[in-house]
Amino acid sequence: QLVESGGGLVQAGASLRLACHTPPDTFSFSAHHMGWFRQALGEERLFVAGISWIGDPIYAGTTDKRRFTISRDVASNNLYLEMNNLNPEDTAVYFCAASVLGGTRAPTSAQDYIYWGQGTQVTVGS
């Protein structure tokens, strides 16, 4: 139901904008908390950033907010992750996810998200 795009192979210092989309008649991003996670090879899936259903962003403590920005376009039902000045440590599969939890703060745990995309690979060369 969620489809990510925008990944690729880039050199260190480059930028990428990941996108996540689902048809509005599936569910609306404005009614769900949304999140971005990443999973490096052999590692666990880690929270990167989330945005609540009311549009408030939240970032993991390990996320460099100077380089990563989460946003959404409610009209088109798109979720974005802008990533700047990428480095090899950012290499991972990036997943978007949707939560059905209540409250006004996007959750940061993967177990609180029930809808997942297939992921998009980001590879950063040195």
Q: What's residue 90's pLDDT? A: 98
User: Mean pLDDT across the stretch 36-44?
Assistant: 98
pLDDT in tens, 21-35: 998 888 888 899 999
User: Mean pLDDT across the stretch 77-103?
Assistant: 96
Q: What's residue 24's pLDDT? A: 81
- The residue with tokens 């990941």 is 18
- Detail the DSSP E strand segments found in the chain: 3-5, 8-11, 16-21, 33-39, 46-51, 57-59, 68-73, 78-83, 92-99, 115-116, 120-125
